[in-house]
Amino acid sequence: MENSGRFSAFYSRDFRLFWIGQLISFSGTWMHSVAQGWLVYSLTKSPFYLGMVSAVSSLPVLLFTLIGGVVADRFGKRKLLLLTQTLSIFPALLIGLLTSMGAVEVWHVMALGGILGTVNAFDVPARQSFLIEMVEKGNILNAVALNSAAFNAARIIGPVIAGMAIAHIGLPACFYLNALSFVPIIIALSVMKTKVAARPAGESLINELLAGMRFLKEEPYIWKAMFIVALFSLLGIPFITLLPIFAEEILKVGVKGFGFLAASAGAGAFTAAVSLAFKGRITGERRLMRVTSLIFPASLVIFSRSTDYYLSMAALFIAGWSLVSFLAVANSSIQLKTPDGLRGRVMSVYTLLFLGMAPIGNLVIGVTAAATGTANAVTLTSGICLAVSIAIAAGLRGKEA
């Protein structure tokens, strides 16, 4: 029987296992991300290379995620996740070994980031569309919010541990711990009772992709929500790439301060996710999407102009809160409007727009920062984000889903 109360998705045993495994895995991933950013900055002292490495790491999502959605629908999400989580161990181990030996170069980081990005292109659509197979449909917003809470709790845990580890133990430890962090989610997926049968392939890959596109063409609300997601991915979220420079050169707080800046955005995001999960079902979802779509870029404009460490942390907290509030409601609304047999493909489009724009966005902000300065680059991109969001927010008006 469906439970619509607070934290209702936790009534599912499989979701609880999945959530715990993800919390550990996500923490390792954020440790890896912080360590990788500091490694690239230490090797190059260049905002261009920070943007380039992030772009190469996320480029495979742009190239392969739609195929990943078809694979998830065709072969089953749980089996695909077991494979992708296992494969994710090896790039983390290798970059840890190279860093330990003092042999790591920027091209190593790019190549291994590209491999891990390819795995993620198949992992993320399966992960997103697997949630609804573990919980009742009425609990999908709760599951999405709790999933986001795990991700954003990890944004607090991972960067803080990474900052301390880099300062006291060294960079390689972050990569080794990330490799180890995939083991709990692999165990959780292995013992789950959720057994959704794979759908036999009845059409070609192209025809199955086109079927998903035809569905989306008939759902304008989904496209409006996805457009804002793409906008934030392209011009808003890539500011994270430049955080090492804000920490070192603008705010002058070093690697520990860098970890706490990253954790501030994670704390705001975690607060939003837990709040949504605590409320259960919420009303005024579209209104919340409109408001948060404006607050997110506005808070980034404030962050980009700040030279005060604590104001910067506060602005990042608000940015994290507003971004996750928007994304959680958008994600759950899209999933509820999508038929079961198309969910993997529709969520692959969501993933493509959310993560696939990152290579372009990271390149844009890296080149812009090199040409105009780090703070000016974030002001410009987030300002464009705010202006466009104001123009299209009215498109999210209408009858609540």
Q: What is the pLDDT of residue 318?
A: 96
When pLDDT is averaged across residues 364-377 and rounded to a whole number, the result is 90
- At 17-57, the pLDDT tens digits run 999 999 999 999 989 988 998 898 888 888 788 878 877 88
- For the chain, give the secondary structure using H, E and C: CCCCCCCHHHHCHHHHHHHHHHHHHHHHHHHHHHHHHHHHHHHHCCHHHHHHHHHHHHHHHHHHHHHHHHHHHHHCHHHHHHHHHHHCHHHHHHHHHHHHCCCCCHHHHHHHHHHHHHHHHHHHHHHHHHHHHHCCHHHHHHHHHHHHHHHHHHHHHHHHHHHHHHHHCCHHHHHHHHHHHHHHHHHHHHHCCCCCCCCCCCCCHHHHHHHHHHHHHCCHHHHHHHHHHHHHHHHHHHHHHHHHHHHHHHCCCHHHHHHHHHHHHHHHHHHHHHHHHHHCCCCCHHHHHHHHHHHHHHHHHHHHHCCCHHHHHHHHHHHHHHHHHHHHHHHHHHHHCCCHHHHHHHHHHHHHHHHCCHHHHHHHHHHHHHHHCHHHHHHHHHHHHHHHHHHHHHHHCCCCC
When pLDDT is averaged across residues 185-200 and rounded to a whole number, the result is 76
Q: What is the pTM of this model?
A: 0.72
Structural domains in the chain, sorted by start: 8-190+204-396 (1.20.1250.20)
Q: What is the pLDDT of residue 97?
A: 94
Q: What is the pLDDT of residue 281?
A: 62
Q: What is the pLDDT of residue 179?
A: 94
Q: What percent of the chain has pLDDT over 70?
A: 92
